[in-house]
Amino acid sequence: MNTFLEILKPDFLLHHAVWGSVVAGFVCPLVGVYVLLRRLIFWGVALPQVSAAGISCAFMLEALGLNMITTGEHHEKHLAIVGAVVFTLGAIILLAGLERRASAPSEGRLGVLYVLAAALSILFVSWNASGENEMLGLLKGEIVSISETDFHAMLDLFGLAAAAILLFQREFTLVSFDRDMAMTLGRSVNVWDGALFLIIGLTISLGVMTVGPLVIFGFLVIPPMAALPWARGMMSFSLLSSIIGGLSAFSGFYVSYTRDLPLGPMVVCVACAAYLLSLSAERILRRSP
Amino acid sequence: MKNKAPEPLIRLKNVSLGYGNTLVLTKVDLDVRRGEVWGLLGHNGSGKTTLLKSMLGLIARRSGEVIGRPRFGYVPQKERLDPVYPLSSFDVAAMGTYRAFQWPFGRRRAAGSDVVRRCLADCGAGQLADRRFGDLSAGQKQRVLIARALAAEPEILVLDEPLAGVDITTQQALLPLLKELKERRHLTMLMVSHRISAEKGLFTHVAWIDEGRVDSGPAAGMLASGRISDIFKTEL
């Protein structure tokens, strides 16, 4: 109990790490709801990896003398953001374009993208041996050492993403559920699809740098899976997913801190436990008369 | 003096349609006027849905002209809609009112709710409002989708194979519903079908789609013509 209260104190050493994880836990499932419903789960696997490749590419280019961003206090973070956003949005535009035109199955394309991004991440890191340590930290997600400025920037961006997802929920649901109906109603489906993919891309890019690809994929998929059987409408689905994500992040941090275990894997395991609990409860309720 | 025919709600003039390098339909001429009920008939893969989608503006035409842009209420093939969405029947029907962005909790949104409930009730689906759409039977889903199309306050109600995949009893319930809605709401309808035994009494006009061409005219004459009656011999 003392540890629990200690974590909640504003002067707790890892204050920003706790609340950074929790915010990512609340916001990523809001986006994950659409990743799940539009059956884009493999996007959830591939895009964090692409984002990671973007981070390592940005650092490699810097090491080769291509200074994209002026030096400063948060130089590394900004460099990572640029790399992650450029690669992720580029991959989304490419995938969305191929989705309409290519005849090969989309899972195959995503598989190629994932494995290519994983290979490039390793190659970019190996070409930039001097900054390997800092870069590996960013690739894994540096939530434990997140600074106050980064924490507030993260709050702003995740806050914007969450607000947009909730405010335009009807539009995103309509174009996701029945694209043809949306078009007959005169809605610009490409604009709304583009807006949704942009939010997904930015959330994944930012999330990869704060909590890492593993946790981001976990947050995108596991809380919505746990919430789906209990959801009554899109708003309840989104809010329930978000609450499960936020609570999993906090509980994962607590266990990780008290047992001295790695944070990311612990958060994923706690979220999976919530999913199993949800699944069991649903089965029990379905069997009971 | 002869009565002049009313202006068509939508007119297709010499329209050609296709996908990729394949031309599906050529030189289509079609006028749809207020109050008419059109059956778009033909074999599977003949281009019925392609024609329908071009009228809805969902696919671009290769050549020709489409004059008029009426308000459509669209009832798609229900199998196309993913049942995994945790949407209630009310949520699905309410999509018909999503023509423009509305602020959450606004007055217009509340007014829209009343329209949706009325449409569900008109389609005999009022009691389904709170049930999950994905859990409904085929016939129940069809009623909700018709309610959704009505909520769009359409000038033309467009139905893509509305009786496909529903049992005889449900067909017998849906047809009178469509007839009643047509009378009560003075609807113009376009209905795609690859069989006609059940729907033929509803059509005032028929477009017969075969081998890339469209023949059209009043239902009585078209259904009695040799070509269609030969093909649908058993049904007629």
As averages over each run of 10 residues, the pLDDT of chain A (289 residues) reads 78 82 94 93 86 87 74 71 88 83 79 92 80 63 71 89 94 95 92 92 84 88 96 94 96 90 90 96 85
- The distance of A184 to chain B (nearest Cα, Å) reads 6
Q: What angle do CA A275, A280, A283 make, to 5 degrees?
A: 125
Closest CB to B84: pick one of A37, A167, A185. Answer: A37
Alpha-carbon span A243 to A261, nearest angstrom: 23
B153 to chain A, any CB pair closer than 8 A? The answer is no
Q: State residue B184's pLDDT score.
A: 86
Question: From the candidates B81, B85, B91, B116, which should be mutated to test the interface with A, based on the most A CB atoms within 10 A?
Answer: B85
Q: State residue A106's pLDDT score.
A: 80
B148 to chain A, any CB pair closer than 8 A? The answer is yes
- Domains of chain B in sequence order: 1-70+156-165+186-236 (3.40.50.300), 81-154 (no CATH)
Model confidence pLDDT, tens digit, residues A65-76: 776 666 666 677
> Are the beta carbons of B57 and A184 separated by less than 8 Å?
yes
Q: Give every strand in the sheet of B63-67, ordered side by side.
A: B22-32, B10-19, B63-67
> Are the beta carbons of B91 and A178 separated by less than 8 Å?
no
SS (H, E, C) chain A: CHHHHHHHCCCCCCHHHHHHHHHHHHHHHHHHHHHHHCCCHHHHHHHHHHHHHHHHHHHHHHHCCCCCCCCCCCHHHHHHHHHHHHHHHHHHHHHHHHHHHCCCCHHHHHHHHHHHHHHHHHHHHHCCHHHHHHHHHHHHCCHHHCCHHHHHHHHHHHHHHHHHHHHCHHHHHHHHHCHHHHHHCCCCHHHHHHHHHHHHHHHHHHHHHHHHHHHHHHHHHHHHHHHHHHCCCHHHHHHHHHHHHHHHHHHHHHHHHHHCCCHHHHHHHHHHHHHHHHHHHHHHHHHCC
For B95-125, letters b (16+ CB in 10 Å) and e give bbbbbeebeeeeeeeeebeebbbebbebbbb
> Above 0.90 for ipTM, yes or no?
no
> If you measure CA to CA, which chain B residue comes closest to A228?
B86
Q: State residue A134's pLDDT score.
A: 62
Q: State residue B236's pLDDT score.
A: 47
As averages over each run of 10 residues, the pLDDT of chain B (236 residues) reads 74 88 88 92 86 89 89 89 94 91 68 86 92 92 94 93 80 85 88 73 87 86 69 52
Q: State residue B210's pLDDT score.
A: 84
Q: Helix crossing, A189-227 with A148-167: angle to 10°?
A: 110
Closest CB to A174: pick one of B80, B86, B98. Answer: B98
